[in-house]
Chains A and B, each alone.
Chain A
Amino acid sequence: MSKISNIIDLLEAGIKAEGLRQKAIANNVANLETPGYRRIDVKFEELLAKALNSSGSVDLSKIEAQIYQPKQTPVKSNGNDTNLETEVGEMVKNSLRHKTYIRLLYKKYKKMELAMNVK
């Protein structure tokens, strides 16, 4: 069932994607009032899910987080489609995900440590 043998690689890829997404959100907040600016987001989970659903082994180094413009929020009169509330929500989600991955990674290392400490 499991195509990914190394959980640490998976968590690392996730943390990297969250880092990039945090940058994207910061960029969106900085451009809240820039005319013509469309908000950007990071596509990673979708790509990972697609890779996991396909047959064959999954090479995590090949799944690269992508920046794209969702173009789903309504556009204001100055051609800008960002708003502070959405970005705050995305940031909360992002930091919670980040925390989860970090905790899982921590737990994994803790387990290794435990295995090494056997006397």
Chain B
Amino acid sequence: MEIDNTFGLIDIAISGMRAQEKNIKLISSNVTNAQSTDNGNGQPYRRLEAVFKTDGDGVGGVSLDEIAVDMSDFLKILKPGHPDADERGYVTMPNVKLPVEMMNLNVAALMYQANIAILKRYQVMVETTLELLK
């Protein structure tokens, strides 16, 4: 016997909210580490990006598939005297670009809100149906 399939839509909206929350966490990590020249292994911080996948086949929620590491080139800035500077005075900086992160943050926050909008609207829909029982 299949129990409780009526509220599958709520689970989908919630999975979207959770996925975007993790996405925002990664963006926050990128922004915070935009100046971290050492990630513990002598390399600058590499920006992270969330990759999402659909749960199940067809209709389903979303989940974080993997946390991809951005392998694009590091930036070099002239900063003689910095402990991580090379012999010519250049410091390798993380490949984080703040405008890109801010744009991604906007998208992620909007996605989060969109999922909440669906959740709210569905709630109203069910309540309207329940009005029939009055």
B91 on interface, CB distance cutoff 8 Å: no
The proximity string for B residues 106-128 relative to A, scoring 1 for CB distances below 8 Å and 0 otherwise, is 00000000000001000100110
Number of A-B contacts (CB under 8 A): 43
Secondary structure dominating the interface of B: helix
Closest residue to B116 on the A side, CB-wise? A88
B residues less than 8 Å from A63 (CB atoms): none
Q: Tell me which residues from 50 to 80 in chain B have a Cβ below 8 Å from any Cβ of chain A.
A: none
- Report whether B3 and A45 are in contact in the complex, using a CB–CB cutoff of 8 Å: yes
- Report whether B4 and A45 are in contact in the complex, using a CB–CB cutoff of 8 Å: yes
B82 on interface, CB distance cutoff 8 Å: no
A86 on interface, CB distance cutoff 8 Å: yes
- Count B-side interface residues using an 8 Å CB cutoff: 18
- Count A-side interface residues using an 8 Å CB cutoff: 19
Q: Tell me which residues from 17 to 71 in chain A have a Cβ below 8 Å from any Cβ of chain B.
A: 45-46, 49, 52-53
CA distance A88 to B10 in the complex (A): 10
Q: Which residues of A contact B (CB under 8 A)?
A: 45-46, 49, 52-53, 83, 85-86, 88-89, 92-93, 96, 99-100, 103-104, 106-107
Q: Which residues of B contact A (CB under 8 A)?
A: 1, 3-4, 7, 10-11, 13-14, 17-18, 21, 119, 123, 126-127, 130, 133-134
